[in-house]
Structure 1
Amino acid sequence: MNNNNDKRLNLMADVYLILFLTAMAAVAVLFGFMPHYVLLNTVYLGIAILSILITYFFGIIPGLIENLIFIFAQAIVMLYLNQTTNHVPLGLAFWLLVPSLLSFIFYGMTTKQQQLQKRNEALRTTLAEQGAFDADTSLRTTVAFLEDAKVFIENNKRFDLPVAMVVFRIRYYNELRRMMTDVQLRELLKNTSKIITSTTRDNDVAYYLDNTTPTWGIILHTDEPGAHIAADRIKNAFSKQLPQSGQLQNMNITLITGISGWDSETMTEPYDLVNKALKETEYDV
C-alpha cells in the first residue's frame, strides 16, 4: 500500500512538472505573437514569477490573493489601453489566467515533492530505529541485541542461567584497512560474519555491533569458561577458513576477542555487558 502511494506521489509530481513546463512554453510563445508589447509582457512575467515565489514561501492562499490583485491591475491597464488606443490585444487576456495557473501548478508540484521527502525521511527514521538486520553482513544489529539481551538477562534472574558476551574484532584493523581495496573489505566482513554464524551453536545469537570499527558479538547462556571455549572454536575456524578466500589469501588476518559474564551486582543494562567485553579485547595480544 505504501509503495502504491509513493508511486502515485511520484506520478503526480511528474505531471505537475510537465504542466508547469508546458505553461512556461506557452508564455514564451505569447511573447512571439505580441512583439509590440514586449515590455508589458516582461512586466507581467515578472509579476507572475513574484506570484509563484509568494505561493512557495507563504502558501496558496496568499498567492491567490496576490493574483486577484494582479487581475484587478490588469483590468485597469486594459481600460487604459482601450481609452488611449481603442485597441486591446486579445493576447493580453492570457495574463488573466496564467499567473494563477502557474502558481497553482507550482504549488501542486512542490507539495507532492515535499510529501515524498517526508515519506523518505520517515522511512529512513523507521529503518534506523527498527532495523534489526545489517544489510551487508545479514547479521542482527545493536538494536536487536538490546532487545534480545533483555530476554537473556531475565532468564538469568528467573532461572539463574549464566549469560556471557563474546565480541570479536579484526586485529590491526586500521592498518589493514589502508592496504585493502573496497572489494577485499567487503569480502572480509562477509566471510567473517559467515564463519562466526556457522560456528556458533543454534541457541547462541550473533550480532554485527559496529560498522566503523567492525565488531561482532555473540550472546550465550554459558559461564565465562564456556564462552572462552566458544571463542577459541570460532578463532580456529576463522584461521582455517579465511585464507581460503581468493581476495584475502596473502593477508595475515586474525581475530581478537573479549569476553564478559553478566554480573547483576555490577551491571544494570546490556551495554555494560558489551563494554566490559570490548575492554577485554585490549588484553588479547
Structure 2
Amino acid sequence: MRLARVGAPGAETPVLLDGEGTAWDLSGLTTDIDGPFLASGGPGRAAAALAEGRLRPLDLTGLRFGAPVARPGKVVCVGLNYTDHAAETGAEPPAEPVVFMKASNTVVGPDDEVLVPRGSTKTDYEVELAVVIGATARYLESPADAGRVIAGYAIADDVSEREFQLERGGQWDKGKSCETFNPLGPWLVTADEVGDPQNLAMRLYVNDELRQDGHTKNMIFDVRHVVWYLSQFMVLDPGDLINTGTPAGVALGAGNDFPYLRAGDVVRVEIERLGAQQHTIGQAG
C-alpha cells in the first residue's frame, strides 16, 4: 500500500494509492497521515475501506505532493552507515551506529524547493532510505522485534551543510537542521509491500548527472538493527522518522569531481519500489 498527502502546505488531503495508480481520498477516515493514524491500525482500516467501496477517487492533476507523514515528532539520523560512504570520507567504519538528530521542521514535500542557507558554500545531498515508525518502540529485545514497529518506508534527501556540520564546532545537528533540509516522499510504502529493506537500489542525480548509485545491502547496520539500537536510548513514537544513512557519491567525499549544490540545480532522488522525488535548489533570503 502507498499512502500520500496531497495539496497545499498545511492543507494536505490524505490519500491511498492503489496498484493501478488511482488515488483514493482518506479524509472521511482520518484527518491526516500521522502518528495516531499509524498507531491505530490506520493502513489496515484504509485497505478495508477501499475493499468495501467506501472511498471516493481523487484526481491528482496539478496537486502538490506533501511529505507522506505529517510533521514527525522527531527525525533521528544515522551517519556513516554505508561501507563505501565511510571509505570516501576517510572514516573508519563505526563500531556502533553514529546517531544525531535533525529538526522535525526540516521535513518538506518531495518536490518542494530546497534552500541553500545564508552564507553556505557547502550544501550537500544524501539519498537515504527513511523508516517510518508505526508503533511505540521502547527497549526492543532484539533486532528481530523491530519489524513489528515499522509502518513503512519512504525516500529522504538528508540535505547537509558540511561547513556548518564539520567546521564550526559543536554537534552535527546545525549542519543538518536548516529549513527545507529533508524532502520526504512522494509516498509512504507499507512494510509488507516493500519486503526486504536491504534489497533496494538507490540513486541520486544532480542536473541529470548521476552522483550516487548505491544499494541498501551495503548498510553497515541494517534497518532492524538500527531501530532496535535506537530503542535502547530513546522511545520511538508512531510517526517518527529515521534516516538510515547514505551511500558514496556525496560532494563531501568526491573532492572536485562533484560540486556542492547551488541555486538553480535540480536534484532527482530514486529508491527502488519507493518512487522518485525531484526538487529545485533555491537560495534562502
Q: Which interval holds the TM-score relative to the shorter structure?
A: under 0.3
| Higher RCO by CA contacts (8 Å cutoff, separation 6 or greater) | 2
Return the index of the structure with the highest Cα Rg. 1
Higher strand share: 2
Higher helix share: 1
Please give the TM-score of this superposition, normalised by the length of structure 2.
Answer: 0.24
